[in-house]
Chains A and B, each alone.
Chain A
Amino acid sequence: MIQLTDLHKTFLVKDRKGRGQRRVEAVRGVSLRVAPGEIYGLLGPNGAGKSTTLRMIAGLLHPDQGRVEVCGVDAARHPEQARAMVGYLATDLGVYLRFTPRELLRMFGAFQGLEARAADQRGMELLTQLGLADFAEVRMEGFSSGQRQKVSIARALLHDPRVVVFDEPTTGLDVLTAKTVLDLLRAMRAEGRSIVVSTHVMPMVESICDRVGILFDGVLHGDAAPGALCRSWGVASLDEVFFRLAEEARP
């Protein structure tokens, strides 16, 4: 289970002239809860705070204010313990191209505290599930972005995490690879995992997400089932909700 309570995160970034620094509030008071066996879709334009929110769930960033709980563990107080329960997939694929998928998974298995044999076995299961078993011993330098994405997903799920955090998992993928990823998400939901997915692809959200939240300038809007959200705004699709919210959020 994931529980976010009144999350705030501010970054210092260079100002436009590149001389000084200015504060940017990336996340402002985000609260949400993702139950086991639920897929939560986090929507929003670029720079809305989606990746920052997901990184706080994954224990990569600490909130300035508020609380992140992963399966009852405070991610700020016990980051290593929390990270052990999270499978995180970043927008950057994060695969070491000189390795073969099997070598990469073995190595990350060791990082996650798995025995070599267990990591190998689990890694091969995931590669088979993702249709990459035949490429297990091939160096990833020649892999397509879809193949790299699949290896990256296998890497994120290797330690059998109870919580799955995927940042734009289908971006840049062809229809078939995207379908494989969506099927995997559905399978993980059926296994009772708590899943948060950020995306720009509305049809994907409508097809797999149980609930959605829309982030604008770090503030969460909505937080309801896709159908309920459309009904509350009196529109037919999530796209329209998104546009209406964008207009409302514009200063």
Chain B
Amino acid sequence: MRGALLILKKEFLELSKDRRTLFFTFVMPLILYPLMFAILGRLGDRDAAARAALPSRVCLEDPGQVLAPLLRDDPARFQVVPRPAGDLRQGLRDRKLELALAVDPRGAEKLARHEPLALRVWYDGSDEASKLALERFRSRLGRQELAWVQAALASLGGVPQMAQPVQLETVDTGDMGLFVGKLIGSLLPYLLMIMMYAGAMQHGIYATAGEKERGTLLSLLATRLPRSQIIIGKLLYIFAIGILSALVNLLSMAVSVARLVGAEAPGAATAAAGTTASAAATAGGLAALATPQVLGLTFLLMVPLGLFFANFILLGGIQARNTLEASTALTPGIFVVLLLGVFSMAPGIEKLRCLPYVPVLNVSLAIRKLFSQQANPLEYLVALVMTVALAGCMTWISVRMLNRESALFRL
């Protein structure tokens, strides 16, 4: 094993000499994700604040003047605008208005006769401003309906409180930490796989096909180190880079996502002070969820999975004649990993009975369950044992295959 560790040391020493690669591999993600999410969050907050500060533009067709006074009385929230030329839908799409209302022309008479008032509303569900306008209108209309019913009850000699016989109080018991944990738990396996593979791939190619291309592999093979040790040393390097790269990216991304989601999760306050408090609560909740035990168990699963990927990269890299050939051989692997990741994120996938026995995917499932506090010890154990066995087999195959002259001296 001493030879393999010497090779590992050599690879890291070589990496340490390349400050640019070090920066892009390990420092950049630490800066990039918080920056990206901070900008996204800030832009989102600014947009929401701007929407809340402006009145919603409403096109109102109300010949009987049933609803017009309601909207005109609240200029801070509604601005009645003339009907745009052409189709209303196009007007909404072109952002000339946020809401369009058409009231029954005989609405006033119907109300007087205590008959239902027909009202049609057009809004754009894909536009946040339009959804806000609808929400504002519903709230205003609700209050008005209550007033109408209370007035009708009063005229009949009833008690106004009968208009709202039930006082509903809702209590949100959702744990913000658990919510974020579930979200990160479903994203984590996907991110883990992508980052581990993509992070290790370029370094793996440099350390394998790159050595062939630069003519340095021969000088290594000419030393007294056994070939198997050289191969294992390179495998350890690719594996270590994959794990480190995934950890740095994930750490940075998890903190950034937790902050962002904490501010926007259901039930979170929207006021500035409330947002900060909610983010702090989320961070606390997430910290309680991502216990050292959960993180340790996740890392334990990452080790054999990372080794499996490292073997795959090593096999593709060292058998290639040059870096271009290695790149061509290994890049499709990213799409396979992407596909596996997307599959593991699919809603309801955890209910598939065969999933705990499908290699790689069972790792996703186990991590997902760990983070959502639904861990099943047996499923976890099966995933771990299967992945260890898979990584072990791959290592055995790699060392045997790459020990051959035809792999190292491919013509």
Contact = CB atoms under 8 A, between A and B. Distances in A.
Interface of A: 11-14, 58-62, 80-81, 83-84, 86, 88, 90-99, 103, 107-108, 110-113, 139, 152, 155-156, 159
Interface of B: 3, 6, 10, 13-14, 17-18, 214-226, 405-406, 409, 411
Given A11-B411, A59-B222, A108-B223, 20 more contacts: A12-B406, A13-B411, A60-B218, A60-B221, A61-B405, A80-B226, A81-B224, A90-B218, A92-B214, A92-B215, A92-B218, A94-B218, A94-B220, A95-B216, A95-B219, A96-B10, A96-B14, A99-B13, A111-B3, A155-B219
Contact of A107 (B3, B10, B214): B10
A94 B215 contact: yes
12 contacts: A12-B411, A61-B405, A61-B409, A94-B214, A94-B220, A96-B14, A99-B17, A107-B13, A110-B6, A111-B6, A112-B224, A113-B224
By secondary structure, the A interface counts as loop
Contacts of B217: 94
Contacts of A96: 10, 14, 216
Given A60-B218, A61-B405, A112 B223 contact: yes
Contact of B215 (A11, A90, A111): A90
Contact of A111 (B18, B216, B224): B224
Contacts of B219: 88, 90, 94-95, 108, 152, 155-156
A11 B410 CA distance: 9
A60 B218 CA distance: 8
Contacts of A58: 222
Nearest to B216: A94
B212 to A, nearest CB: 9
A152 B411 CA distance: 24
Contacts of A155: 219
B13 A60 contact: no
A59 B220 CA distance: 12
B405 A62 contact: yes
Contacts of A83: 222-224
A47 to B, nearest CB: 11
Contacts of B218: 60, 88, 90, 92, 94
